[in-house]
A and B are shown apart, each in its own frame.
Chain A
Amino acid sequence: MSDALSPQFKPAAKSVAPHKLLGPKGKLLGTAKAPMTDAQALEALRLMMLGRAFDTKCFSLQRQGKIGTFAPLHGQEASIVGSAMALNPESDWVVPQYRETPALLRQGYPLEQIILYRQGHPHGGFVPDGIKVLQFQISLAAQIPHAVGLAWGMQLQQQDGVSVAYFGDGSSSEGDFHESCNLAGVLKAPVIFLLQNNQWAISTPREIQSAASDLAARAPGYGFPGISVDGNDLFAVYQATAEAVTRARAGKGPTLIECHTYRMWAHTTADDPSRYVDEKEEKRWGTRDPIDRVQRYLADSGNWSDDKAKAWEAEIADEIQSAFDNAAKVPPAGPEALYEHVFETPTSTLNRQRAAHLQEQ
């Protein structure tokens, strides 16, 4: 009888503890140092608060029938903003899924565009010249190959930009995620895979997506490192992304960052989470709010106060209102928009169909 062969590669028995820097009470943990200045933390806080206020407003507008179905970001502000803060909007690309409004805003994408998108206006898909973002992606994981292509293109043209692909734990089961990691590893492409593990894909929990102990643990299989971070900790997400950006710019290739966070609101305005979410778990995550801890941290150095909170809330409400006002100035689109931008020059078939539709001669 021969001895059984022992596999050289074994799955980890349990998940690793995510990197953390800033505790839920706003205190730096142990010997941790803040990876950003107070000025940067304030910039990040503003974006997080704006993102939450905007989605809160949109949620109530959706209930009034004024905008369409959308996916709110509540609970995920630190993983979205912490990662975006590590980028240089002049050179780096943000490739979103659909919850990443404040990451787009930091790149310079106008808020009124996102309003138009949520209103279902075709102009909502427009990306102004020079703004390095791709449009929201609704087909899960389809954006990840695009981010790899952008990174590859910048590498070939000797530009020092990086691209960041945002996607969820559910999306990380799609073939496009795995094909993308595989190709990016081979190319050493300057791309960061920013996996927001918010524990849910609509009603399907994280355990059903994969038997891997950690989703970030898949990275070494593709020949590059994976990092697990507390996704509700702005500082930890920022530091992990900044290190990944440095690696990417130095030609050392991709990084997979798994942000452990929690989707505090419904999947979308069309979802009913009471059918599947465990209230206790939700409450537990509620005590780890990503915005609250940054405010407490800044209060300790005298940079945050109730008065400031009030002032910012008013400013943010104004900013959102003026974006809605700007969006309202865009004329509604008519049937002719169906025939525009299909090709640079419409085919004779499209011209014929357009003329018949619009009863043109």
Chain B
Amino acid sequence: MTTLTMVEAIRETLRAEMLRDERVILMGEDVGHLGGVFRATDGLRQQFGAQRVFDTPLAESVIAGSAVGLAISGLIPVFEMQFLGFSQNAFHQICQQIARTRFRTRGSHTCPITIRAPFGGNVRTPELHSDSMEPQYAQGTGLKVVMPSTAYDAKGLLASAIRDPDPVLFLEPLRGYRLVSDDVPDDDYTIEFGKLRVMREGDDITIVTWSASVPVVEQAVEQLVAEGINPHVVDLRTIVPLDEAGLVAAVEKTGRCVVVHESPAAAGFGAEVITLLQEQAFYSLQAPLKRVTAPDAPYPPPGIEGHYIPSSELVVRAVRETLID
């Protein structure tokens, strides 16, 4: 067991997977010599050589598109989008090509590709870097969307992603890269997709969240507990596949639910969660379901991003309102 930051856990998992399977190759902008702008691939080019860790030209679409051909040729590409905010330059290749290759060819060609992308705010990056775009990719039918919030989960979920026969978008919360650290077993392990993590048992209200919003919710929970409220808290870990049964059970337990995420509200993944609960947990509900999200406004300049991202105060307020109903 070693205490690792999230970015260290990601790096060590990449290393372990490259040692485990020589078909695994890394590619992306600045991932080689520099080791990535956040050092997620630091030292891997030195260890595995330029034949397995590539610095590519600055061109997101062909990074994603060439991964299709690399995969069909028999390799297992893991490519980095330097920031999720720029991944839409490759949106077509990711959602229409990578995600659909298995379906279009009736299983004759497949894309065991992992796409790593840091995302999320509160790190004072210049504009256009920070957007949480997971709902857009959740509709990339054929693509799995994985969103860890701890170093332990980052390791187990990334190992599963690289070994998955289908493409996986692995989203890394930028703010958590160095702020989040926890105990990570040194031995190999994987975490099955579509199994949520119960962060805290409670029976007053269920809070559903994932990835970058997990630390916000943890802060809110401290406050709520101090007020004598006992929340049940779950981290979805993967939004595709979604742990439908786990989610329904978690909400049936308390009859109340607040969903917290960092992307805007409209057609956000919270809308999907709430619809599912309406369909499958309706008769256990005791209060309207609530969302705490960013507004339906563009991600702002860093000077005011603290007002954009859901805060723990807003989560506490939403919980109180839901408990009154």
A: residues with CB less than 8 A from B are 95, 122-123, 125-129, 134-135, 139, 142, 144-154, 156-157, 163, 175-176, 179-180, 182-183, 186, 340-344, 347-349, 352
Chain A residue nearest in CB terms to B103:
A341
A183 to chain B, nearest CB (A): 5
Q: Verify B70–A152 contact, CB threshold 8 A.
A: yes
Judge whether B245 and A146 touch: CB under 8 Å. Answer: no
Interface residues of B in 100-115 (CB under 8 A from A): 102-110
- Contact status B66-A146, CB under 8 Å: yes
Interface contact B57-A146, CB-CB below 8 Å: no
Whether A150 contacts B244 by the Cβ 8 Å rule is: no
**Contact, CB under 8 Å: A149 / B65:** yes
Check: B64 CB closer than 8 A to any chain A CB: yes
B31 at the interface (CB under 8 A from A): no
Task: Evaluate contact between A342 and B67: CB separation under 8 angstroms.
Answer: no
B93 within 8 A of A: yes
Known: A145-B93, A147-B69, A349-B244. A135 touches B104 (CB 8 A): yes
B220 within 8 A of A: no
Contacts of B65 in A (CB 8 A): 142, 144-146, 148-149, 176, 179-180
Residues of B within 8 A of A125 (CB): 103-106, 108
Say yes or no: is B25 at the interface (Cβ < 8 Å to chain A): yes
With a cutoff of 8 Å between Cβ atoms, the chain A residues found around residue B67 in the complex are 149
Judge whether B73 and A154 touch: CB under 8 Å: yes
B88 at the interface (CB under 8 A from A): no
Question: Is there an interface contact between B74 and A153, defined as CB atoms closer than 8 Å?
Answer: yes
Give the contacting residue for A183; candidates B56, B72, B110, B142; CB below 8 A. B56
Q: Complex Cα distance A145/B56, Å?
A: 13
Distance of A341 Cα from B102 Cα, bound (Å): 6
Interface residues in B, total, Cβ within 8 A:
43
Q: Which of A129, A139, A180 contacts B62 (CB 8 A)?
A: A180
Question: Assuming A126-B106, A176-B61, A348-B241, what are 14 further A-B pairs, CB within 8 angstroms?
Answer: A126-B107, A128-B108, A142-B93, A142-B96, A146-B69, A149-B71, A149-B72, A152-B66, A153-B72, A156-B25, A157-B73, A180-B66, A344-B107, A347-B240
Residues of chain A with a CB closer than 8 A to B109's CB: 127, 134-135
Residues in chain B within 8 A of chain A (CB atoms): 25, 51, 56-57, 59, 61-62, 64-75, 92-93, 96-97, 102-110, 141-142, 144, 165-166, 194, 240-242, 244-245
Q: How far is the CB of B250 from chain A (nearest CB, A)?
A: 15
Q: What are the residues of chain A within 8 A of B241 when measuring CB–CB?
A: 347-349
Chain A residues with CB under 8 A of B69: 95, 145-153, 163
User: If the complex has contacts A148-B62, A186-B57, A342-B142, are A139 and B96 also in contact, measured as CB distance less than 8 A?
Assistant: yes
Q: How far is the CB of B9 from chain A (nearest CB, A)?
A: 25
- Report chain A residues within 8 Å CB of B144: 343
Q: Look across to chain A and name the residue whose beta carbon is closest to the beta carbon of B106.
A: A126
Distance in Å from the Cβ of B141 to the closest Cβ of chain A?
A: 6
Cβ–Cβ contact A175 & B142, under 8 A = no
Chain B residue nearest in CB terms to A144: B65
Closest to A148 in B: B66
User: What residues of chain B lie closer than 8 Å to A186, measured between beta carbons?
Assistant: 57
Q: In the complex, what distance in Å separates the CA atom of A147 from the CA atom of B51?
A: 19
- What are 25 sample pairs from A and B whose C-beta atoms fall under 8 A apart? A125-B103, A125-B108, A135-B104, A135-B109, A145-B62, A146-B65, A146-B97, A149-B69, A150-B69, A152-B70, A153-B69, A153-B75, A156-B25, A156-B73, A157-B75, A176-B61, A176-B93, A179-B59, A180-B62, A183-B56, A183-B62, A183-B66, A341-B105, A347-B242, A348-B242
